[in-house]
Structure formats: structure tokens, C-alpha cells
Amino acid sequence: MVAKPAASDESNIDLFKGKTFAFFGAFSYWPSYHPGAPSTVAQMKGGILKHDVDHGLDYLVIGDKREEGKKEAIKEAERLRAESEGTVASGKRKAKPATGKPFPTILDESAFREMVRANLTGKTFCLFGGFDCCGGGFDESLLRSMVENVGGIVVNTLDEKLDYAVFGPRKSDGKIAANNKAKKLAASGIRLKILDEEGFLELVRTDHDTTSGDEDMNFATFISRLHGTVDQGKLGRALKMLKQEAFKLYVRKDDEHVVGVVRSQTNTSKVYASWLTPEGKYGCCTPDLDECMGLQGNICKHLLVLMVGLTGAGEMQARQAYDWLKAAQGKRPRANGALIADTFIQYKGAEVGEIDWRPTETIPEDYYAF
């Protein structure tokens, strides 16, 4: 059982001071703004590192990547918890009384990232330049939603009261002058921090929904986390497509995969079938089984249109969609001719009315804020 993280704070020393931590498995993602590795940050905040999983351990932190002893560490932590809480008789197993001894809390890497994440509530951001994460270069509503989702405030004034000055990589009027002013303010010793687009996206990325206590993340959190996970240029193009016109997504979804037909926006006579599994296997092809040119070693805009469109329409839970897309990172596309061929056969049948397959329809207005 993995614990939910406690509310984080920029200093959050009390969460770490005197607490013991054991780390197993390297992290698949760790923000570059931290001054060291996860274990180093825990130590810097007053934590004590241990290697043994026993009653004296407070937190067992589990990274996504493999490491010798990782499975054994998790099993031992779960055994210690069962020993502490006691067990109920089941079948031939006898009941065991609770010992009440302390046991380690298991944190996965997302929970630990959230535990050490900077508290941005009330922090002010001023944005300059064009951003690759925005389809048109600058989308104030999208950037504002990212900031507000973590409790920050977007302002238009660059002065000594500002917390973060964010500069996108693209040109814009006044960007150079603003950058020079920001550097002077930062050099004067005030609290202002200057961020590029990558640093900004890392800072506002959240691993848990910050607006509710539910298991499911909200749509704004889903989009914000995608910007820190998938290719931001492709995501920007996918969002631009969803804003420009309504899509009819012919989709089949079950526990093993999601597959859907997405029509090309530049050539309306062309369609693609995109698919994804919970394990991160994916692909995108034309009816002739030609691989989508946009894949290039990672997921394409058609698959993103499919997943974002389904999530925005409420046909797929945001957390599930994110987990599936995250699982695809670092993996190459695969061929699945049987799945693609079967999908296009059904699609053509639906087009001529031979098969009752009702599409999921997207509404452009739903994406204006992103």
C-alpha cells in the first residue's frame, strides 16, 4: 500500500527533521531545480538515511526503476505493517494480535516528489516570450491555468515584489528588455527567480491533484502533468487541433487497450488509427498500415488528440489516461496490424451505417482554457 504525500512546503523541514528514509530504485523523473538526488534532498532537509527496512524506519521510498533488493524491501515493509496492525483469521491462517510497533510508510516516487515540492501558493509569476508548449506560441489561458493549478498568481508587473520571471524560448515584443530588467533585479539580491520554459514546466508540474482529495486528478492537472511528461511541441499541436475544430473520435476502450480513429486536420481524406495499452505499448498507422510520420520514436499528435479528447469528454479518467501515456515514455512505437485492420474495418462499416459505432465528439470551447 502506497501512502499519499503530506502537504508540502517550500521549507517543509518538519516533514524530514529526524525522520529516517531508505531509498530503493532510481527515479524515472526528478526535477532539475532540486539541489541534489532524492536521498541528498532528504538529508538536506534533516532526514537520516538508512539501508535496513525495520521498525526504526519512517519512510521507504520506492523509485520506478529496477534495483536489486527493491521487491524484498517492499515485502518487508508490508510484513512489518501487518505485524503492527495484526491479522484476521483466514482459512488455515490463525489470527495474530497487533503488536502496535512502528512500521515504515511506503512512498512511491511521485509521492516523494510531492513531499519535497515547493509550495507555490500565493507566489507570483510574470510571463514573457513565446512558449513551445503553446500551439500558437503564447496561450495566456493555458499558462495561467498551469500557475493557478498549483496555487500561484499570474501578474503583469515585473518588479521587486515578483517571485518568478518566466521567459519562453520564442521571440516577442519587450522580451529582451524584460530579461535585462529581471537579471538586474535578481542581481540586487531580491527573491526573484528567473526561469526558462523547461524550468517553469518542471516547477508547476504536479504529481497529485492539488484541487481535490479525490483519487482522480482534474483535467487542468492532467494537462499540466502532460507538459512535463510528453513532447511539449506535439502536445501543443494536439491542443491546437482540438481548439480549431470538433473531432468525431471513433474509439474502442477496455482494460487492455484504447484504440481510436483520428481524422487528419491538414488532409481530411486521411485517417489514422492510434492505440495505447496500460503498459505503454503504442502505435499509429494509416489504413494501408503505413506508420504515422509524427511518431519518430515517441507518441504522435494523433494519439494525444485521442487521449486528451477522451479525457476532456469524460470518457476516460484523467489519472488513467496520464498513467498510460507516462508508461509509453522512453518506448518506441510498435506494429499491431491485426488491431489496426480490425479497427478500420469497423470504422468503414460505421461510416456507411452497417455498424452502430457512435463516436465521442469533442467541443473546441472545452479546450480554450488550455
Residue-level pLDDT at 204 = 85
Mean pLDDT in consecutive groups of 10 residues from the start of the chain, 370 residues:
42 83 91 88 95 95 92 95 76 71 92 87 94 67 82 94 93 93 93 90 69 60 80 86 92 94 88 96 94 90 96 92 90 91 94 90 79
Determine the Cα–Cα distance for residues 28 and 37; give it in Å rounded to an integer. 12
- Residue 225 phi/psi, 5-degree rounding, is -70, -30
Residue 141: how many CB atoms within 10 A of its CB?
A: 12
C-alpha cell at 31: 526535477
Per-residue pLDDT at 7: 38
Residue 225: what pLDDT? 79
124-204: CATH topology is: Rossmann fold (3.40.50)
Supply the pLDDT for residue 5.
39
* Backbone torsion region of residue 296, taken as left when φ is above 0, otherwise alpha when ψ lies between -120 and 50, otherwise beta: left
The pTM (predicted TM-score) of the whole model is 0.59
Say what the pLDDT of residue 16 is: 93
Measured CA distances, 213 to 99, 108, 122, 216 (Å) = 31, 18, 20, 8
State how far the Cα of 247 lies from the Cα of 266, in Å rounded to an integer.
13
pLDDT in tens, 40-84: 999 999 999 999 999 999 999 999 888 999 999 999 999 999 989
Under CATH, what is the fold of the domain 13-116?
Rossmann fold (3.40.50)
What pLDDT is attached to residue 104? 95
pLDDT of residue 274: 97
Long-range interactions of 138-142: CB distance < 8 A, separation 24+ = 138/168, 138/170, 138/172, 139/370, 141/368, 141/369, 141/370, 142/223, 142/239, 142/369, 142/370
Residue 269: predicted pLDDT: 85
Angstrom CA distances, 319 to 63, 83, 88, 197, 248, stand at: 19, 32, 33, 24, 23
* Residue ranges matching CATH 3.40.50.10190 in the chain: 13-116, 124-204
